[in-house]
Chain A
Amino acid sequence: MNSVGEACTDLKREYDTCFNRWFADKFLKGDRSGDPCTETFRKYQRCVQKAIQEKDIPVDGVDFMGPDKDKTET
């Protein structure tokens, strides 16, 4: 699967692989020992945010109908 930013696809796949392992092997099993993918995510994020700005995709200011939209997130 590709990223919205062509240049970010490799970073995205690296992050996805890390996340999927953490999600299946740690998170779902109740292991809260921290997320090992933070650094990979940061690199991927910088790339995606740049692509979103360049493509002028309106990711902010969308009102969600989600039941948890009013709750604060960490």
Chain B
Amino acid sequence: MKIWSTEHVFSYPWETVIKAAMRKYPNPMNPNVVGVDVLDRSVDTEGRLHSHRLLSTEWGLPGIVRAILGSNYSLTYVKEHSIVDPEEKKMELCSTNITLTNLISVDERLLYRPHPDNPEVTILTQEAIITVKGVSLSSYLEGMMARRMSANASKGWDAIEWIIQNSERENVPLCDIY
């Protein structure tokens, strides 16, 4: 098991970042996410928006790993639960893979909050727990996944910035562009 975490600061107010985070895909930085569906969505009694989404992703495990594991999957599915609290100004997002679970689990948690001293700035804290089943490959795969988490995290930040810049410029919902 490997625990990975990081923090990132966006130079935009919380609302701007959240709007971009909700429509983060598609973006040029994460071409591996090929499908996003909303499975369920509701506002709870405290006025928080819950979204359950299904992400279809191409993880691209190295050929050698696939050969050893006999895994022939081209797509991995990830389930994601996000909660947006507009009063507290907090967005929390948890995700976990629902296929390849006999091999690996990647549980990720993201939290977007305004900077306590500067409302024009948003902080994203991000953590993941990577667990590889089976002893022989675990340290190799966990290390590889942790390195990939770091690379993907910075792509994710770039993606949010990209969404903000493009949607601000066009001033239309991003999905109309596609």
Q: List A residues at the B interface (Cβ < 8 Å).
A: 1-5, 8, 12-13, 15-17, 19-21, 23-24, 27-28, 30, 32, 35, 41, 44, 48, 52, 57-59, 62, 64-69, 71, 73-74
- Does A16 contact B19, Cβ atoms closer than 8 Å? no
Q: List B residues at the A interface (Cβ < 8 Å).
A: 15, 18-19, 22-23, 25-26, 33-39, 41-45, 47, 49-50, 54, 56, 77, 79, 81, 83-84, 86-87, 92, 94, 96, 98-99, 107, 109, 129, 173-176, 178
- Does A20 contact B178, Cβ atoms closer than 8 Å? no
- Does A13 contact B98, Cβ atoms closer than 8 Å? no
Partner of A74, one of B36, B43, B176: B43
State in angstroms the CA–CA spacing of A73 and B39 once bound together.
14
Interface class of chain B by DSSP:
strand
Smallest Cβ-Cβ distance to B129: which chain A residue: A65
Partner of A23, one of B22, B37, B94: B22
State in angstroms the CA–CA spacing of A30 and B176 once bound together.
25
Partner of A1, one of B41, B47, B79, B178: B178
Smallest Cβ-Cβ distance to B39: which chain A residue: A59
- Does B81 contact A12, Cβ atoms closer than 8 Å? no
- Does A1 contact B38, Cβ atoms closer than 8 Å? no
Closest 4 CB pairs of A and B: A66-B94, A20-B173, A1-B26, A16-B175
Smallest Cβ-Cβ distance to B48: which chain A residue: A68
Smallest Cβ-Cβ distance to A35: which chain B residue: B43
Most chain B CB within 10 A, of A32, A58, A65, is at A65
- Does B19 contact A23, Cβ atoms closer than 8 Å? yes
- Does A74 contact B42, Cβ atoms closer than 8 Å? yes
Smallest Cβ-Cβ distance to B44: which chain A residue: A74
Smallest Cβ-Cβ distance to A65: which chain B residue: B107
Given contacts A52-B54, A66-B94, contact A1 B173 (CB under 8 A): no
Given contacts A2-B35, A4-B35, A48-B39, contact A17 B173 (CB under 8 A): yes
